[in-house]
Amino acid sequence: MSAPAIDTENLTKDYPIGFLETKKKRSLEGLTMQVETGEVFGFLGPNGAGKSTTIKLLVGLIFPTAGTARILGRSINDIEMHRDIGYLPEQPYFYDYLTAAELLDYFARFHDLTAADRRERVARMLKKVGLETAGKIQLRKYSKGMMQRVGLAQAILHDPQVVILDEPMSGLDPIGRREVRDIILELKSEGRTVMFSTHILSDAEMLCDRVGVIVGGKLRGVGAPSEIVELKAHGMEILFEYAGNNANASALLAKAAKAGNRYRLQVGESELYTVLEQLHAAEARILSVTQLKQTLEEYFMNLVDVDRAQAAAIEVRGK
């Protein structure tokens, strides 16, 4: 088994707060997590959960209060390691007096590429992110979405092995998001490791091999999207059509959600066959029976609520 591409151990970050900066707020606590080589890893959490903090720690913009981390087996303090990583900041902003081509060329110069190589890559990247025609326009004239694409381009320009993206979909319209998704999948097909943070769960469910869920600075769960949610089905959902008015059925109908002649009824696993017989006796037409799984969203919201309750409890105790 090869070493993980990204490996953190007990990564912790405190921020000084208050007027005299004497108090500390712990924005990340004891993060121990691995991202395997070649996978697409989603880093999920609500705003302020610590996603950006983690990414900034990995990339060297901020320094940990405790703990260590390694990327591709090298410490995050190793500046040469940055040759093999690409980073897209959250809501990126670049030198507005440069054109996109000039900016990419500028960044490319840090990677010891020949002039010809640089030119070729810059042109290729601009095309890849859909900025071919806008390459010679100064960045001050760029929209937010265009800036996001430039950001993505500079992150992958040098063919890094590990790509770290902070909220890559933010500010993009559905077409843009689709394009980013395609790029991420393309990177995966090239064997690169992609880690991105997001609070949009559907993106994560669609793209990721694994996700890590972080709430309130703590890692709550890691695994494939399907694994994380509770496997035990909450029950079954019966979709049926009924036009009659059998008295036996009316009790059931009352519990069902109605749309025209169609009804959705949720029942526990154990009651399933009893209810099916009742409906059959009432001459309802069964359309489908599906297993109910907790969605990622429900899992997520559950975690957030638990965290909030805990925080409130601590506050009460503190008073």
> By CB under 8 A, is residue 87 in contact with other proteins?
yes
Q: Can you tell me the distance from the alpha carbon of 164 to that of 152, in angstroms, rounded to the nearest whole number?
A: 10
Q: By CB under 8 A, is residue 79 in contact with other proteins?
A: yes
With contact defined as beta carbons under 8 Å apart, do 154 and 87 qualify?
no
Give, in degrees to the nearest 5, the angle at Cα 226 between 169 and 189.
55
- Return the residue of 6, 33, 72, 85 that touches other proteins, per CB under 8 A: 85
**What does the alpha-carbon distance between residue 218 and residue 45 come to, in Å, rounded to a whole number?**
10
Helix (H) or strand (E) holding 228: helix 225-228
We find the least distance from the C-beta atom of residue 132 to other proteins, in angstroms, to be 21
Nearer to other proteins, 106 or 233 (CB): 106
Q: Which two tokens stand for residue 219?
A: 């890692």
- Chosen residue from 73, 93, 248, 266 binding other proteins by CB under 8 A: 93
Distance CA 217, CA 228 (A): 18
Q: Which long-range contacts (CB under 8 A, 24 or more apart) does 257-262 make?
A: 262/287
Of 193, 173, 216, the closest CA to residue 304 belongs to 216
Q: Which stretch binds other proteins (CB under 8 A): 61-69, 125-133, 263-271, 272-280?
A: 61-69
Q: Does 106 sit near other proteins (CB under 8 A)?
A: yes
- The stretch near other proteins (CB under 8 A) out of 81-89, 186-194, 231-239, 244-252 is 81-89
Instruction: Look at residues 51, 59, 91, 53 and name the one whose alpha carbon lies nearest to residue 77.
Output: 59
> Does the protein bind other proteins through residue 173 (CB under 8 A)?
no
Quick check: 248 binds other proteins (CB under 8 A)?
no
Distance between CA 169 and CA 108 in Å, rounded? 24
Mask for 37-56, x = binds other proteins (CB under 8 A): -------------------x
- Is 93 or 273 the residue whose CB approaches other proteins more closely? 93
Query: Which of 92/217 has CB closer to other proteins?
Result: 92
The residue count of the chain comes to 319
Using CB under 8 A, which of the segments 79-87, 126-134, 208-216, 262-270 binds other proteins?
79-87
- Nearest to other proteins of 151, 225 (CB atom): 151
Under the rule (CB under 8 A), what is the footprint of other proteins? 15, 56, 59-63, 77, 79-83, 85-89, 91-95, 97-98, 106-107, 109-111, 151, 154-155
